[in-house]
Amino acid sequence: MEVQVAVLPGDGIGPEVMEATLEVLEKVLRKSPLFFKFKKALVGGSAIDAVGHALPAQTLQLCEESHAILFGSVGGPKWESLPPELQPERAALLPLRRHFSLYANIRPVVLYPELQHVSPLKSEIIGSGVDIVILRELTGDVYFGEPKGRRKLGDEEEAFDTMLYRRYEIERIGHLAFELGRARKKKVHSIDKANVLTSMVFWREVISEIHKNYPDVELHHMYVDNAAMQLIRNPRQFDVILCPNMFGDILSDEASQLSGSLGMLPSASLGVPALWDKNGYRFGLYEPAGGTAPDIAGKGVANPIAQILSAALMLRYSFYLEKEATMIEEAVRRTISQGYRTLDIYAALDNTRKVSTQEMAMAIAANIDFS
Ligand code: NAD
């Protein structure tokens, strides 16, 4: 069976870490039961430079024809002077999420024991590592709720966004959270601000109703301000953290620091089953949690692990290749334990060696174990 992946490297470090990822994929897919076609297209600032638009029609068409999208990252100082609606993130990434109804963003946050020293938290707090999944609702809330706008009121001026959730939006992300929880440690923390916001009272109500279908999974409700504190104070209490869009945006960046570097964190954005699915494969967009890192772009020092682990999530969630996904994750684990470090996770310790983006990818590919 032939399957197709739209590869959109984007800007800044995007092309560097994508190249590294394709190398690892090439190795792991050698014995795959599926034949993969990877087709590249322009997106973001590089697309603006080439054809004048961050999400060209040909790119969107390629995505529509594909089973999944492997995305780098977009944006950078070069395009920051453009009107906001034409800038790469606003004009490419948000429309892609909306077009494909990618409502569920899954971000695993893992701190490997060997990288304890790069986490800003004390070792008594971090313990032997962290393993959390943040599930962020991605197509609702204040980012998409209407009305939004600005208006003059006599001498005064105001601007507004609407925090809005429909029942079906909360239900579908709730089901996914409990299914994820069921496959892990059977514990879900649902984050809200139900003490103040009407939409969040509704969120809590609907999540509690959905929970009745999953009596084997513990549910804890937590206010977002408390969650922000608890992530730093006692991160090991969490397993699956379910968040509305805006709170998830903020908490997932906070949580990213637990792993020591944005360069370690992958993500998967999944769509509504069957809407864009083809031949039984689930459509999704897979990208690193970080951005284009303009401060290190072009230097060959970016950490490719976030992009490589995003590719592993793609094999797992879109193509149901659990064995191959695990092989990549194990290869990353082994490579870290062998002491390979890109600049962002490097500390001069006896058993570590500083490597480039390419060298890290080669080490991971070499650690793919087919046995
Ligand atoms: P950033 O994530 O690009 O960088 C923040 C810090 O993390 C930088 O010091 C960077 O060097 C480091 N970093 C990030 N990824 C790394 C990696 N793989 N290896 C090593 N270090 C890494 O965030 P920013 O500086 O706020 O944004 C830069 C640009 O990226 C902006 O234009 C922003 O709009 C864009 N951005 C895009 C996305 C996306 O495409 N999904 C997400 C966030 C930011």
Neighbouring CB atoms inside 10 A of 345's CB total 23
Listed residue (13, 7, 12, 11) closest to 25, CA to CA: 7
User: How far does the centroid of ligand 1 lie from the alpha carbon of residue 293, in Å?
Assistant: 4
Number of structural domains found in the chain: 2
Average pLDDT over residues 70-95: 95
Amino acid 152: pLDDT: 95
Q: Which residues pair with 159 in a beta bridge?
A: 150
Q: Decide if pLDDT at 73 tops 90.
A: yes
Q: Decide if pLDDT at 128 tops 80.
A: no
In terms of domains, do 255 and 290 share one? no
Domain-embedded: residue 69: yes
Average pLDDT over residues 186-207: 98
Residue nearest to ligand 1 atom 43, measured at CA: 291
Q: What's CA 133's distance to the chain center, in Å? A: 10
Residue nearest to ligand 1 atom 1, measured at CA: 291
What's the half-sphere exposure (Cβ side, CA atoms, 13 Å) at 270? 21
Amino acid 120: pLDDT: 84
| Per-residue model confidence as pLDDT tens digits over 259-275 | 888 899 999 999 988 78
Backbone angles phi, psi at 210, to 5 degrees: -60, -35
In terms of domains, do 50 and 162 share one? no
- How many angstroms separate the CA atoms of 190 and 72, rounded? 29
Amino acid 124: pLDDT: 84
What pTM was computed for the model? 0.93
In terms of domains, do 52 and 160 share one? no
Atom of ligand 1 nearest to the CA of 306: 18
| Per-residue model confidence as pLDDT tens digits over 322-355 | 999 999 999 999 999 999 999 999 987 778 999 9
Q: pLDDT higher for 314 or 280?
A: 314
Average pLDDT over residues 115-126: 85
- How many angstroms separate the CA atoms of 61 and 64, rounded? 5
Q: pLDDT higher for 240 or 261?
A: 240
Listed residue (165, 12, 2, 179) closest to 106, CA to CA: 179
Backbone angles phi, psi at 146, to 5 degrees: -115, 150
Amino acid 127: pLDDT: 81
| Per-residue model confidence as pLDDT tens digits over 103-113 | 999 999 999 88
In terms of domains, do 152 and 168 share one? yes
Instruction: Write down the mean pLDDT value for the chain.
Output: 95
Chosen domain end from 218, 239, 259: 259
Cis omega before residue 235 (within 30°)? Answer: no
Average pLDDT over residues 249-255: 91
Amino acid 347: pLDDT: 83
Q: Which residues line ligand 1 (CB under 6 A)?
A: 13, 17, 73-76, 89, 93, 261-263, 287, 290-296, 302-303, 306, 344
Chosen domain end from 259, 283, 298: 259
Q: Provide long-range contacts, Cβ within 8 A and 24+ apart, for 198-204.
A: 199/163, 199/164, 199/165, 200/163, 200/244, 202/165, 202/167, 202/170, 203/165, 203/170, 203/244
Single-letter amino acid code for the residue at 125: I
Relative orientation angle of helices 305-317 and 14-28, to the nearest 10 degrees: 50
Backbone angles phi, psi at 5, to 5 degrees: -120, 130
In terms of domains, do 224 and 161 share one? yes
In terms of domains, do 284 and 351 share one? yes
User: How far does the centroid of ligand 1 lie from the alpha carbon of residue 12, in Å?
Assistant: 9
Chosen domain end from 259, 275, 304: 259
Q: Decide if pLDDT at 256 tops 90.
A: no
Single-letter amino acid code for the residue at 173: I
In terms of domains, do 239 and 270 share one? no
Amino acid 279: pLDDT: 86
User: How far does the centroid of ligand 1 lie from the alpha carbon of residue 14, in Å?
Assistant: 10
Atom of ligand 1 nearest to the CA of 343: 20
- How many angstroms separate the CA atoms of 133 and 211, rounded? 18
Domain-embedded: residue 111: no
In terms of domains, do 98 and 128 share one? no
Q: Which of 69, 250, 259, 344 to mutate to test the pocket of ligand 1 (most atoms within 8 A of CB)?
A: 344
In terms of domains, do 2 and 49 share one? yes
List alpha helices for the chain, DSSP H: 14-28, 45-51, 57-65, 88, 94-99, 123-126, 167-183, 198-211, 224-233, 245-256, 305-317, 322-337, 357-366
In terms of domains, do 239 and 293 share one? no
In terms of domains, do 128 and 223 share one? yes
Domain-embedded: residue 293: yes
CATH number at residue 9: 3.40.718.10
Average pLDDT over residues 102-126: 89
User: What burial class does residue 370 get, using C-beta atoms within 10 Å of its C-beta: 0-12 exposed, 13-18 middle, 19+ buried?
Assistant: exposed
Active-site residues, by number, are: 143, 193, 225, 249, 253
Pairing label, strands 104-111, 266-270: antiparallel
| Per-residue model confidence as pLDDT tens digits over 132-189 | 999 999 999 999 899 999 999 999 999 999 999 999 999 999 999 999 999 999 999 9
Domain-embedded: residue 6: yes
**Which residue range(s) make up the domain with 170?**
120-259
Q: Decide if pLDDT at 240 tops 90.
A: yes
